[in-house]
């Protein structure tokens, strides 16, 4: 039952309709900490195929992150601030980031809070990347309630972010499809793409996905939602690194757009 009226609200009447309305509630969005994504173009492309030989255009500095090469340390700024600083360079190409949520390990009902945390972190990162002008996509092997779409191809703009947020809102902790197939549908080419993988830390599933991405030379930032499973995969450290979800989401209040 609902109420309809003219534009001024003078004449109102109640209407009964059998039509079902769907309400999609987007995940909560938080500020994102300043995390450096692994990039293939800086370390993974051999010889003359590498579009970046040596970064030249310095935009500023930030706190040094331990996995970054020592040659990026800005020693003068470090001495001035009494804490290690690294150089920030102007990006040579548009950022292309594929967000992935792997459902393995989340199916257990007791892990539902971790699953919700993964969804919120992915939503927050999608909004953050859209504001940075990056091309963003999404892929998952989880069930999307009321939708057959398990991948959002890489794209840009607020409409793209809305599609990703809706997909995240529909996620359920149950496996529906093969993650490798969905990743293939989300990206046309692996060149210049970085993946951010939100996971419970299931070793067998993560190792399988890591191997799939490594064969395509796609670097991965793995975001774990269970601190007890925070470990480094035995793969190329430049292409694959781990952080905990609490290191990604800033503890500030939710973003309001």
Is 60 exceeded by the pLDDT of residue 256?
no
**152: closest CA among 111, 132, 122?**
122
Phi, psi of 62 (to 5 degrees): -155, 170
Calculate mean pLDDT across residues 228-234: 59
A 10 A CB-CB count for 125 gives 26
CA distance 214 to 161: 27
DSSP conformation letters of 202-227: -HHHHHHHHHHHHHTT--EEEEES-G
Catalogue all structural domains in the chain, each as residue range(s) with its CATH number. 40-45+93-248 (3.40.50.410), 54-89 (no CATH)
Q: In this structure, are residues 169 and 24 in contact, taking their beta carbons and an 8 Å threshold?
A: yes
Note the pLDDT tens digit of each residue in 122-170.
999 999 999 888 899 999 999 999 877 778 999 887 789 999 999 999 9
**Cα 43 to Cα 49, 164, 181, 204, distances in angstroms:** 11, 29, 26, 27
Which 8-state DSSP code applies to residue 121?
A: H
Determine the 3-state secondary structure of 80 from DSSP.
helix
Helices (H), ranges, the chain = 40-43, 75-81, 112-131, 158-169, 179-186, 203-215, 245-248
Q: For position 161, what pLDDT does the model report?
A: 93
Is 70 exceeded by the pLDDT of residue 38?
yes
Q: For position 137, what pLDDT does the model report?
A: 95
Q: For position 42, what pLDDT does the model report?
A: 45
Note the pLDDT tens digit of each residue in 170-217.
999 999 988 888 898 888 777 789 999 999 988 888 888 988 998 888
Q: In this structure, are residues 85 and 78 in contact, taking their beta carbons and an 8 Å threshold?
A: yes
Quick one: pLDDT band at residue 227, thresholds 50, 70, 90? confident
Note the pLDDT tens digit of each residue in 48-95.
344 443 344 456 788 888 777 888 888 988 998 899 988 876 554 568
CA distance 217 to 207: 15
Is 80 exceeded by the pLDDT of residue 238?
no
The tokens for 102 are 């792997």
Q: In this structure, are residues 138 and 126 in contact, taking their beta carbons and an 8 Å threshold?
A: yes
Q: For position 121, what pLDDT does the model report?
A: 96
């Amino acid at each position: 039952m609902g109420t309809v009226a003219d534009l001024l609200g003078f004449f109102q009447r109640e209407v009964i309709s059998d039509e079902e309305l769907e309400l999609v509630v987007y995940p909560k969005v938080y500020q994102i900490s300043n995390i450096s994504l692994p990039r293939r173009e800086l370390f993974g492309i051999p010889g003359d195929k590498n579009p970046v030989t040596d970064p030249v255009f310095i935009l500023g500095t930030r706190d040094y992150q331990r996995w970054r090469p020592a040659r990026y340390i800005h020693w003068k700024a470090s001495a001035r601030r009494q804490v290690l600083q690294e150089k920030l360079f102007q990006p040579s190409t548009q950022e292309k980031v594929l967000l992935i949520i792997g459902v393995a390990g989340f199916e257990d009902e007791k892990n539902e809070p971790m699953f919700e945390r993964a969804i919120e972190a992915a939503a927050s990162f999608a909004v953050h990347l859209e504001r940075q002008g990056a091309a963003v996509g999404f892929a998952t092997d989880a069930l999307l309630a009321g939708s057959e779409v398990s991948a959002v191809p890489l794209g840009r703009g607020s409409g793209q972010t809305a599609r990703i947020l809706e997909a995240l809102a529909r996620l359920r902790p149950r496996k529906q499809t093969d993650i490798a197939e969905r990743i293939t549908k989300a990206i046309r080419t692996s060149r210049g793409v970085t993946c951010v993988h939100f996971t419970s830390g299931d070793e067998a599933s993560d190792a399988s996905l890591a191997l799939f991405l490594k064969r395509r030379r796609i670097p991965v930032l793995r975001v774990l939602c269970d601190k007890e499973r925070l470990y480094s995969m035995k793969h190329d450290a430049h292409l694959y690194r781990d952080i905990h979800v609490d290191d990604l989401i800033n503890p500030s209040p939710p973003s309001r757009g």
